Protein backbone atom coordinates (compact mmCIF):
# COMPACT_ATOMS: atom_id res chain seq x y z
CA UNK A 1 0.00 0.00 0.00
CA UNK A 2 1.51 3.36 -0.97
CA UNK A 3 2.43 5.66 1.90
CA UNK A 4 2.07 9.40 1.38
CA UNK A 5 4.59 11.72 2.89
CA UNK A 6 4.87 15.32 1.73
CA UNK A 7 2.48 14.51 -1.15
CA UNK A 8 4.94 11.95 -2.56
CA UNK A 9 3.92 8.33 -2.91
CA UNK A 10 6.33 5.81 -1.43
CA UNK A 11 5.87 2.12 -2.20
CA UNK A 12 6.95 -0.47 0.33
CA UNK A 13 9.03 -2.94 -1.71
CA UNK A 14 9.62 -5.34 1.16
CA UNK A 15 8.04 -8.77 0.82
CA UNK A 16 7.78 -11.76 3.04
CA UNK A 17 7.85 -15.39 2.00
CA UNK A 18 7.27 -18.36 4.22
CA UNK A 19 9.57 -21.34 4.03
CA UNK A 20 10.32 -24.38 6.10
CA UNK A 21 13.98 -25.23 5.86
CA UNK A 22 15.15 -27.55 8.57
CA UNK A 23 18.06 -29.88 9.21
CA UNK A 24 15.74 -32.32 10.94
CA UNK A 25 14.83 -35.32 8.76
CA UNK A 26 11.48 -35.85 10.53
CA UNK A 27 8.35 -34.55 8.82
CA UNK A 28 5.38 -33.73 11.01
CA UNK A 29 1.95 -34.11 9.41
CA UNK A 30 -1.33 -32.59 10.57
CA UNK A 31 -3.49 -35.15 12.34
CA UNK A 32 -6.78 -35.22 14.18
CA UNK A 33 -8.20 -37.81 16.59
CA UNK A 34 -11.89 -38.65 16.05
CA UNK A 35 -14.37 -41.35 17.03
CA UNK A 36 -15.30 -43.74 14.24
CA UNK A 37 -18.80 -45.12 14.85
CA UNK A 38 -20.93 -47.95 13.46
CA UNK A 39 -23.99 -48.91 15.49
CA UNK A 40 -22.79 -49.73 19.00
CA UNK A 41 -19.13 -49.88 17.93
CA UNK A 42 -17.04 -46.82 18.69
CA UNK A 43 -13.31 -46.56 18.02
CA UNK A 44 -10.94 -43.60 18.38
CA UNK A 45 -8.73 -43.22 15.31
CA UNK A 46 -6.04 -40.76 14.25
CA UNK A 47 -6.72 -39.11 10.89
CA UNK A 48 -4.02 -37.74 8.64
CA UNK A 49 -5.18 -34.43 7.17
CA UNK A 50 -4.07 -34.10 3.56
CA UNK A 51 -5.61 -30.92 2.19
CA UNK A 52 -4.29 -31.75 -1.29
CA UNK A 53 -5.94 -35.15 -1.53
CA UNK A 54 -8.97 -35.74 -3.73
CA UNK A 55 -10.20 -38.74 -1.71
CA UNK A 56 -10.33 -40.02 1.88
CA UNK A 57 -9.15 -43.50 2.87
CA UNK A 58 -9.36 -45.91 5.80
CA UNK A 59 -7.47 -49.18 6.12
CA UNK A 60 -9.18 -52.42 5.17
CA UNK A 61 -8.39 -53.71 8.67
CA UNK A 62 -10.40 -50.92 10.32
CA UNK A 63 -13.31 -51.38 7.89
CA UNK A 64 -13.46 -55.07 8.77
CA UNK A 65 -13.09 -54.44 12.52
CA UNK A 66 -15.88 -51.85 12.52
CA UNK A 67 -18.19 -54.01 10.38
CA UNK A 68 -18.77 -51.45 7.65
CA UNK A 69 -20.49 -52.69 4.48
CA UNK A 70 -19.26 -51.48 1.09
CA UNK A 71 -21.61 -49.23 -0.89
CA UNK A 72 -19.78 -49.84 -4.18
CA UNK A 73 -16.35 -49.78 -5.72
CA UNK A 74 -14.28 -47.58 -7.97
CA UNK A 75 -11.25 -48.14 -10.18
CA UNK A 76 -8.68 -45.41 -9.58
CA UNK A 77 -5.41 -44.47 -11.20
CA UNK A 78 -2.87 -43.42 -8.58
CA UNK A 79 -0.19 -41.01 -9.82
CA UNK A 80 2.94 -41.53 -7.78
CA UNK A 81 6.28 -39.77 -7.43
CA UNK A 82 8.39 -40.04 -10.57
CA UNK A 83 5.41 -40.18 -12.93
CA UNK A 84 4.52 -43.79 -12.07
CA UNK A 85 0.82 -44.60 -12.43
CA UNK A 86 -0.91 -47.61 -10.85
CA UNK A 87 -4.53 -48.72 -11.21
CA UNK A 88 -6.31 -50.03 -8.08
CA UNK A 89 -9.86 -51.13 -7.29
CA UNK A 90 -11.11 -49.59 -4.03
CA UNK A 91 -14.32 -50.36 -2.16
CA UNK A 92 -16.40 -47.32 -1.18
CA UNK A 93 -17.89 -46.92 2.32
CA UNK A 94 -20.13 -44.41 4.07
CA UNK A 95 -18.69 -43.82 7.55
CA UNK A 96 -19.84 -41.90 10.60
CA UNK A 97 -17.27 -39.95 12.62
CA UNK A 98 -17.47 -37.51 15.48
CA UNK A 99 -15.21 -35.30 17.52
CA UNK A 100 -14.11 -36.66 20.88
CA UNK A 101 -16.49 -34.62 23.04
CA UNK A 102 -19.50 -35.79 20.99
CA UNK A 103 -20.73 -32.31 20.05
CA UNK A 104 -20.26 -32.79 16.29
CA UNK A 105 -20.76 -35.84 14.05
CA UNK A 106 -20.91 -36.33 10.30
CA UNK A 107 -21.16 -38.94 7.55
CA UNK A 108 -18.83 -39.01 4.61
CA UNK A 109 -17.50 -41.30 1.94
CA UNK A 110 -14.13 -43.06 2.15
CA UNK A 111 -12.32 -45.75 0.20
CA UNK A 112 -10.45 -48.75 1.56
CA UNK A 113 -6.67 -49.04 1.37
CA UNK A 114 -4.43 -51.91 2.48
CA UNK A 115 -1.79 -49.65 4.04
CA UNK A 116 -1.69 -45.91 4.67
CA UNK A 117 1.72 -44.42 5.33
pLDDT digits (tens), the chain, 117 positions = 444 455 555 555 555 545 555 666 777 788 999 999 999 999 999 998 888 888 899 999 999 999 999 999 999 998 888 889 989 999 999 999 999 998 999 998 999 999 987
Class of domain 26-113: mainly beta
Instruction: Let me know: does 66 contact 38? Beta carbons within 8 Å.
Output: yes
Reduced to 3 states (helix: H, G, I; strand: E, B; else coil), residue 82 is helix
CA gap 57, 108 in Å, rounded: 11
Does the model's pTM come out above 0.75?
no
- What is the DSSP secondary structure assignment for residue 9, as one 8-state letter? E
CA gap 34, 27 in Å, rounded: 22
Reduced to 3 states (helix: H, G, I; strand: E, B; else coil), residue 1 is coil
Amino acid sequence: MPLKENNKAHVNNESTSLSNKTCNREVLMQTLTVHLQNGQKNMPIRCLIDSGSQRSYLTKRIMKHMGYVSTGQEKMVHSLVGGVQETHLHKRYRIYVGILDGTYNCNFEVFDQEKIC
